[in-house]
Structure 1
Amino acid sequence: MAKQTNFITMTLDKVDFQLQEEHTFNWLKQLGAVFCVFDQQDSGNISFGVENDGQRYFVKYAGAKPIDFTGNPKDAIERLKKAVPVYQSLEHPHLIKLLDYFSTENGYAVVFQWFEGECLHSHWSFGGVAKFTNPKSPFYRFKKLEVEKRLKALDAIFSFHTYVESQKYVAVDFYDGSILYDFKNDETKICDIDFYREAPSRNDLGEDFWGSNRSKSPEEFELGSPIDSITNVFNLGAIAFGLLGGEMDRSFSKWDANQGLYEVARRAVEEDRNNRYSTIKEFYDAWKSVLNQ
């Protein structure tokens, strides 16, 4: 299918963004003034940074047709509605905070507390090689942080997902694009858990199952495979290699932490699920016991 190029440029409070077709955002005015727009997601959502009386909010909206979206806006609306109880069930200090949600004339909006973090996979600003090589890229800057700070970030990620597991949920579509890092305060938060599901679950999409190829487990490419805690152990191990090592190159020579942590991460990303840790808690406990030695 030929890619559309004649996009509509819209402006809200001096911020320009593009859509495939006109859409009304009058409802946004009641929330405040728009100071930034994220319009290059392929999920069907478009998101806004909004400020009101010195308070900032992150507003995720479905119903429009963003430029990288090839699906039906109605499906995006349904997905966003289904995400609300997920954020409610998994509320946690390391997860962005859900504040409000409502239907609009042509869509559905979810409002979160703003977090002053930068996305570690900001493909809209640093796509392709730039993510790894541009000194301004959040991922590049994160990889230059001392190991202790990166370990603290991973601890936030692991502790949140241990909680997810305890609530009988399974992470779906978790990758470095779901990680926000505040470089000023060295604080980490998880965002975009819209596809997390109640456990147990199965791969209902085959190789196009949600997620990044860089952190997906073998079962996330195979129709009908279980998507469970053992799957998530792989995802978290892959994230550890992304933030502390050579990502897809999982050799020890690319690893910035100690041998013990390498062994834990290595076991987590075993191709054969039977050789991985059986729960996120078991993985996290093994990780912490090496850290505390």
Structure 2
Amino acid sequence: MPYKLRDPYLQIGGSYNLDNLQQINLITKTIDKVNFQLREDHDFNWLKSLGAVFCVFDQQDSGNISFGVEKDEQRYFVKYAGAKSIEFTGNPKDAIERLKMAVPVYQSLEHPYLIKLVDYFSTDNGYALVFQWFEGECLHSHWSFGGKAKYTNPQSPFYRFKKLEVEKRLKAIEAIFSFHTYVESLGYVAVDFYDGSILYDFKNDETKICDIDFYRKSPSKNDIGENFWGSNRSKSPEEYKLGSPIDSITNVFHIGAIVFGILGGELDRSFSKWEATQGLYEVAIKAVEKDRNKRYPTVKEF
């Protein structure tokens, strides 16, 4: 499951700051023939009990490093906090606490379109979440297709997704709506939801939502300011203003922005870039009104 890496959790990048890296003595680790680098050495012996590692995602600046493991012909995705990855400059203890807080979110919001949490535990120096593996590809796979390559490289998952017929993309949008109306019904708001939260299985035309770590109970407010969690490509105006409400109306904007990425010109929300019907365009454009009072009041109504 090319799993999504965070988006201020690095956003549009995909390449390291080489000048900074040259000043860091990186540690190279090898687990089951898979190599990755860290800022500091870290003990990963606990991974052995989960199976053989077949891939690693080490370019996150969220404080997490993730692994694909296989045991008894079953694959799992392991998300771990406690190690200092190349892109992470914060305190590992903060990353550990954030990951612990995500457990009840996944448990409460369990849904057919959400990746399934199957286990979680502490290690001597960190914390791990174990998910069922999903054979999907992340629509914002910046670690392989950063910058313009996301939109222009024929191998990019986003590029290939955009080449699918409209009906298949509408089916993916339906999955997004299905999950988020459920989220809304349970009194949660979707924080840090963007196209990097979407996994698509091209073989079976299936969609899953991943990385809902920052979803939170409503009512909620922007407690960070302009650097509130999320991608600049899908954040609402209120997610740049300290103290602003973060609620269902905010989530309407999120999903509307995602819809324009899937069916239109992403930030160019003109009808000329729209690939579906005019009726659907008129529905979608209302969702991304800058004035929150002009949007749909709920995801369900949208």
TM-score by length of 1: 0.95
Q: Distance in 1 between matches of 2:100 and 2:227?
A: 22
Q: Distance in 2 between matches of 1:42 and 1:177?
A: 14
Q: Distance in 2 between matches of 1:40 and 1:181?
A: 21
Match of 1:291 in 2: none
Q: Distance in 2 between matches of 1:3 and 1:273?
A: 40
Deviations 1:52-108 (Å, cap 9, x if unpaired)? 010000000000011111111000000000000000000000000000000000000
Q: Distance in 1 between matches of 2:169 and 2:44?
A: 39
Deviations 1:257-282 (Å, cap 9, x if unpaired)? 11111111100000000000000000
Question: 1:203-214 counterparts in 2 under 5 A?
Answer: 203-214=222-233
Q: Distance in 2 between matches of 1:163 and 1:76?
A: 27
Q: CA deviation at 1:183?
A: 0.2
Matched AA of 1:64: A
Q: Distance in 1 between matches of 2:71 and 2:241?
A: 46
* Larger helix share, 1 or 2: 1
Q: Distance in 1 between matches of 2:135 and 2:44?
A: 24
Q: Secondary structure at the match of 2:128?
A: strand
Match of 1:38 in 2: 57
| % same residue | 83
Q: Does 1:3 align with 2:20?
A: yes
Q: CA deviation at 1:7?
A: 1.8
Match of 2:92 in 1: 73
Question: 1:47-196 counterparts in 2 under 5 A?
Answer: 47-196=66-215
Q: CA deviation at 1:42?
A: 1.4
Q: CA deviation at 1:4?
A: 3.4
Q: Secondary structure at the match of 1:208?
A: coil
Match of 1:286 in 2: none
Q: Distance in 1 between matches of 2:60 and 2:253?
A: 25
Q: Distance in 1 between matches of 2:164 and 2:103?
A: 34
Q: Distance in 1 between matches of 2:150 and 2:30?
A: 28
Q: Does 1:246 align with 2:265?
A: yes
Matched AA of 1:123: H
Q: Distance in 2 between matches of 1:263 and 1:71?
A: 43
Q: Distance in 1 between matches of 2:182 and 2:30?
A: 40
Q: Distance in 2 between matches of 1:9 and 1:176?
A: 31
Within the candidate set 251, 254, 265, 1:235 is matched to 254
Could you list the runs of 4 or more consecutive aligned residues of structure 1 that deviate by over 6 angstroms after TM superposition? none
Q: Distance in 2 between matches of 1:202 and 1:7?
A: 38
Alignment gaps of 5+ in structure 2? 1-16
Q: Does 1:279 align with 2:294?
A: no
Matched AA of 1:23: H
Matched AA of 1:250: R
Q: CA deviation at 1:175?
A: 0.4
Q: Secondary structure at the match of 2:282?
A: helix
Matched AA of 1:4: L
Match of 1:287 in 2: none
Q: CA deviation at 1:3?
A: 2.3
Q: Distance in 1 between matches of 2:91 and 2:196?
A: 23
Within the candidate set 22, 25, 29, 2:41 is matched to 22
Q: Distance in 2 between matches of 1:53 and 1:147?
A: 38
Match of 1:290 in 2: none
Matched AA of 2:21: Q
Q: CA deviation at 1:41?
A: 1.1
Q: CA deviation at 1:18?
A: 1.1
Within the candidate set 186, 190, 197, 2:216 is matched to 197
Matched AA of 1:60: K
Q: Secondary structure at the match of 1:109?
A: strand
Alignment gaps of 5+ in structure 1? 284-293
